Structure 1
Amino acid sequence: MPDDLLVLVDPDLYDDVARCAAAAGYRTVAARPDDCRREWLTSRAVVADPAAIAVLTLIHPPRRDGLILVSAEEPRADTWRMAMDLGATDAAALPSDENRLVRSLTDVRVPRRRPAGVLAVIGAHGGAGASTLAAAVALTSVGNGSSTLLLDLDDVAPGADLLLGIEQRPGLRWQDLSLDGGVVGGTALHHALPRAGSGLAVLTSERLPTRAPGSDAVAAVIDAGQAHGDLVVVDLPRADTPVVRTAIASADLVVLVSAPSVGGCAAARRVVGRLIGDEVSVELVVRGPSPGGLRPAQVADAIGVPLIAAYRPDPRLPVRLEGGPLRVRPRSPLGRAAQAVHSRVAGQGRAA
């Protein structure tokens, strides 16, 4: 027997939705958005347009899986926020995205993907290069064929979107998410965020944020990325806040970036002791050169954490970043370090 699909759309979209429902093996059930509680609770999936989303937001039905936003054009940011608060898992613009809608309806029936890893990157001190390494690992992950989610949690930094050259692209920022302890669909999240290429979604703060991201939103977004099968890369500030502790607690691996100096070692030991602790794996990337001749292995021994990689900074990188987005060449020192970190978190063995 076919599953029921609750269709809450304008008549102009109904035929397109019905055609996709038939292709995915659903039986359509029509109802009014303001009087659909029974169908909302019993249908396998729900398709709703922006007008229906607005009505549903007013009557506050229970959050549910399998809600797909459809529209004749790209939905606005406020529509995305309302849809995700209701539990939307994907979106499609009809009729151009009919194949996408069929796939999304089909995916509702299948189990979630195998959860992927969560990598947190934090600098031991200012200028360590943690944000650049986090972005480089995310780009490397995409280059290796992995769907990737880059989360920038430093709301007073320039921003990962600026580093990747996508600061002008539309999409949700942290300040647009008000999940209040709820959940969010990974596919919907990817669709709503600005992207750097086809496989990398980026979530950062507004240029002039009115408020910092909340712990509940951070936890929900990390969970969504994992359930979607993403490698989640989190760029952390050096701050003892609930948000930072939530991200660290969710991580499979924390990568600490430090300079090979006495001061860098002292700062790194403090970060490990005060922020990271011993309940999560933490490993080291050393970004040289050393002013006093310290070797990377000596730095790792002094801090008391394993060494993943060591690399020299590219003196031409700051000039290139002034004129364009970050590009990671696989054979460059940064590219090799990023590949080593990606291999480590992807479970392909430890590279040193």
Structure 2
Amino acid sequence: MDGVVDGGRALIVTADEGLLDEVLRIAAAAGVEMAHCREPTSRTLWRTAPVILLDAAQVRAAAEARPARRPGIVVIVDADPPEAMWELCVRLGVDRTLHVHRDEVELIELLADSVRDGPADGRCVAVVGACGGAGASVFAGAVAFAGARSGRPALLLDCDPWGAGLDVILGVEHSPGLRWSDLSATAGRLPVGELVRALPRIRLGPAGISVLAHDRETVHDLDPDVVDVVIDAGRRSGAVTVVDLPRPPGPAADRVLERCDLVVLVVPADVRGCWAADRICRRLSGFDVAVGLVVRGPSPCGIGADDVAGSLGLPLLAQMRAESGLANELEFGLSLASGGRRPLLKAARRVLAELDRPA
């Protein structure tokens, strides 16, 4: 791999030195620095770059590598491409094709826009429970609170249409703002600033928590392409994006697993939780993503957090003891704006430390 390995920069994938020089010249005109790969082999860069310029000669190799689908892939050509390329572009989810000379102005605007919204270094963590009642949704909210308390913007996504709703857990179900159904026709890139201002928001620190949940009237599966552009917006804003993931597999849940940087599996320290967690682990093994474990106590039969981690073969990120007043608090909305020594926040901060750890 050549060039700068930096997931916050636009990425050019080409082995053609002449094309590379042309693209870097255009990037300089846009005031943008770029990362470079000769081949589409870096899954990290593919996942985190705000925009990918893919040499038409590399389209087949990219399709055969089967990377995660994502928005912001643009194929660069310097001649009329062969007909066979179009089917491969559809498989990759390519947004559009641009000519390196004829579309130079559009390329400059595209690259300038890729850095205009923010630092493009946001991270995404998905939280999933081993079984019903594991506390995954509450823990997802805690991770968002921990991110906001650290001074970073937090974007909290409720991807489980059949749950009570993260907005209910956080007490913002009556707050005005966009819900998933309002984004059903979204395509391409979402303006980050407009999205953040349009969502229900919890004011906390300089950034706060933006919450995207389901409305009360309609329940339907999420469009994975809509999930894609929202995660992309979170990355471009530099936010910590926290996804409350449903246990059953589906197109939207699978897309999150393809795009996120870390999956946190929340497991109760009991026999039922361990058996259920083993099934979830088998599902997660099909994705190229880091998985860590959070164990919630108390255990009715003395199962330790290390025992759970050992049986599942997963790294233990944190263990939590029960909080006596939590059930009552959730009747009015979880609030972790204070009380930094609470078990939920301690565990959430350990997850954020793992999320920020270099790969």
Normalising to structure 2: TM-score of the pair?
A: 0.64
CA distance in 2, matches of 1:292, 1:188: 50
| CA deviation map 1:269-315 (0-9, x unaligned) | 10011245351100000001111211101100101110000011212
Match of 1:338 in 2: 348
Match of 2:159 in 1: 153
CA distance in 1, matches of 2:280, 2:230: 24
| CA deviation map 1:114-136 (0-9, x unaligned) | 32110000000011010001001
Paired letter, 2:328? V
Paired letter, 2:269? P
**How far is 1:324 from its partner?**
4.0
CA distance in 1, matches of 2:250, 2:277: 18
1:268 has 2:277 as partner: yes
Match of 2:262 in 1: 253
Match of 1:175 in 2: 181
Query: Which runs of at least 4 in structure 1 moved beyond 6 Å after TM superposition?
Result: 106-109
Pairwise CA RMSD: 2.1
Q: Is the 8 A contact 2:117 2:193 kept in 1?
A: no
Match of 1:289 in 2: 298
**How far is 1:171 from its partner?**
0.6
Paired letter, 1:321? L
1:308 has 2:337 as partner: no
Kindly tell me the number of residue pairs found equivalent between the two proteins. 244
**How far is 1:317 from its partner?**
0.7
List aligned pairs for 1:57-206, cutoff 5 A.
Answer: 110=116, 112-197=118-203, 198-206=207-215
CA distance in 1, matches of 2:170, 2:321: 21
CA distance in 2, matches of 1:207, 1:333: 31
Match of 1:347 in 2: 357
CA distance in 1, matches of 2:315, 2:179: 34
Normalising to structure 1: TM-score of the pair?
A: 0.65
Q: Is the 8 A contact 1:245 1:275 kept in 2?
A: no
Q: Secondary structure at the match of 1:301?
A: helix
Unaligned runs of 5+ in 1: 1-105
Among all aligned residue pairs of Structure 1 and Structure 2, give the percentage whose two residues are the same amino acid.
Answer: 42
Q: Is the 8 A contact 1:248 1:276 kept in 2?
A: no
Paired letter, 1:167? E
| CA deviation map 1:144-165 (0-9, x unaligned) | 0001100001112111111111
Greater mean deviation of Cα atoms: 107-116 or 237-246: 107-116
Residues 131 and 308 of structure 1: is their aligned pair in 2 closer, same or farther, counting only changes over 3 Å?
same
Paired letter, 2:320? Y
Match of 1:224 in 2: 233
CA distance in 2, matches of 1:121, 1:111: 26
| CA deviation map 1:83-116 (0-9, x unaligned) | xxxxxxxxxxxxxxxxxxxxxxx99985741321
Paired letter, 1:186? V
Match of 1:318 in 2: 327
Unaligned runs of 5+ in 2: 1-111
CA distance in 2, matches of 1:203, 1:276: 28
CA distance in 1, matches of 2:161, 2:117: 35
Q: Is the 8 A contact 2:162 2:219 kept in 1?
A: no
Residues 144 and 112 of structure 1: is their aligned pair in 2 closer, same or farther, counting only changes over 3 Å?
closer
Greater mean deviation of Cα atoms: 307-316 or 177-186: 177-186
